[in-house]
Amino acid sequence: MLTTVIAVIITLVIAVPVSVICGINHHKKLEEEKIGDANTKARAIIDDALKNAEATKREASLAVKEETIKAKNEFEKETKERRAELQRYEKRVLGKEEAIERKSDALDRKEASLASRESNLNRQKAEVEKLQAKHLQELERISGLTSEQAKEYLLTMVEDDVKHETAVMIKEMTTKAKEEASKKAKEYVVTAIQKCAADHVAETTISLVQLPNDEMKGRIIGREGRNIRTLETMTGVDLIIDDTPEAVILSSFDPVRREIARIALEKLIVDGRIHPARIEEMVEKATKEVEAMMREEGEAATLEVGVHGIHPELVRLLGKMKFRTSYGQNALKHSIEVAQLSGLLAAEIGVDIRMAKRAGLLHDIGKSIDHEIEGSHIQIGVDLCRRYKESPIVINAVESHHGDSEPQSLIACIVQAADTISAARPGARRETLESYTTRLKQLEDIANSYKGVDKTFAIQAGREIRVMVVPEQVSDSDMIILARDISKQIEAELEYPGQIKVNVIRESRATDYAK
């Protein structure tokens, strides 16, 4: 039994390696067969790849040859087309050169023809000039006028025609403008005047102080005249004590000083104690009273007109204008009236009413101190308004209300019109005889300075001037231009209230005698 087992074991020991070796050999044989097959397949694949590469190479070579042949054909075709196009261009250039040569030949022929014509024209021109000279000599012989005289005659005729047409045009335009503006202007002015009512006080350069009795004159004079001298020195007013019963006259061109003297003298008369110390005291009180009065009057004027925000110094100067007159018209009352008129006109036109009233109230502010400072009341007023920061509209209205500068706003034009209305109203102002006669003489001198004027007459208190012209020297057309020129010169050189009518009269008379 043991022997059998050992035999089996030995058999197994011998059989297992043998089987392993046999298996290894078999597997190796299989692997070699697989390797041989793979090599065979690889050689087959390589052969196929070589065959495909040869075929692809042949195909690429054929494609390149085809592309080369195609490009060569296209290049030859393009070359032929360009060559044909160049030949066409050459033909066109040759044709143009031939045309230019033909045109050049034609121009040469035209130049030769023009030169020939120019020579002919020069000959004809010389002949025409000779004929013109001959005809001119013949015309001068027939007419009896030289060429210069004929030119002068023709220019005179043309000038007369132009004058006539100008006069007709001026007349038509003036008539049209008057027709369009007259209705509205009259309506505005009449409405403004109807709505404005103001009292006017005519003052002179003297004031009269009533005395309780004639004995008071001696007390006013004082011992050796010391009282009257003190009063005159303190006030700057002349006291005239004459034979006028129970009255003393105060004379001064400064209305403020005259008012101070009047108040002081009346206080001294009521007090009864008249001596230099008392006079000084009363003059000082009267000065303060007048200053207060001026401020009150200025404030009352601004309240009456409805203007606020005016500088206190301008308000004081407005009140000072109560004692100032212009041709007998109270300056403060005139300013209030101009302010009211300006407001009414501004309301009618549709502009700023308050600004118009302000400009109208301040337009104559320079008159309050024009006797203290050199210069016209216009320039003084402009300086005052600038100093106290008034608006440019008010300054321009003050500067232009007498036409010294151009109005820059409707308000300036309104103030100018209102000032004229207030001053020109009958009874508002009175003139001295000297200024009145001077103005009449200036009117006549202006009209007499024009050629063709025979006589001039200033009538209607200087509101109208009649100009008689020589009919042989001034035609009907010249009359219109002459009237316009005279009116413009009057506007430029004279100052006057309202308007002046210029009436040019041309009268022709024929006289004969029956024998």
Tens of pLDDT, residue by residue over 275-311, are 888 888 888 888 888 888 888 888 888 888 888 888 8
Strands 501-506 and 464-469 turn out to be: parallel
Q: What is the structure's pLDDT at 230?
A: 83
Q: Which residue has the higher pLDDT, 162 or 490?
A: 490
3-state secondary structure of 467: strand
What one-character-per-residue DSSP string does 303-369 give? Answer: HHHT-----HHHHHHHHHGGG-EETTEEHHHHHHHHHHHHHHHHHHHTS-HHHHHHHHHHTTGGGGS
Structure tokens at 395: 């300054």
Q: What one-letter code names the amino acid at 61?
A: S
pLDDT of residue 187: 65
Percent of the chain with pLDDT over 70: 83
Contact 389, 343 (CB under 8 A): no
- Both tokens of 58, joined, read 């042949």
3-state secondary structure of 239: strand
Model confidence over 191-236: pLDDT tens digits? 665 555 444 333 456 677 777 777 777 877 878 788 888 888 888 7
- Tens of pLDDT along 425-450? 544 454 444 566 677 788 888 888 88
pLDDT digits (tens, 9 = 90+) for 103-150: 888 888 888 888 888 888 888 888 888 888 777 777 767 766 666 776
Could you give the percent of the chain with pLDDT greater than 90? 0
What is the rounded CA–CA span in Å between residue 412 and residue 409?
5
SS3 238: strand
Beta bridge partners of 469: 453, 506
pLDDT top residue among 46 and 507:
46
Contact predicate 146/140, CB 8 Å: yes
Give pLDDT, residue 18: 66
Spatial contact of 500 and 462, defined as CB atoms under 8 Å apart: yes
pTM above 0.75, yes or no: no
* Rounded Cα–Cα distance for residues 29 and 168 (Å): 145
d(CA 60, CA 55): 9
Three-state secondary-structure class, residue 150: helix
Separation CA 47–CA 329 (nearest Å): 142
Residue count (the chain) = 515
Contacts of 195 (CB under 8 A, 6+ apart): 340, 344
Tokens standing for 32? 């070699």
Can you tell me whether residue 259 is helix, strand or coil?
helix
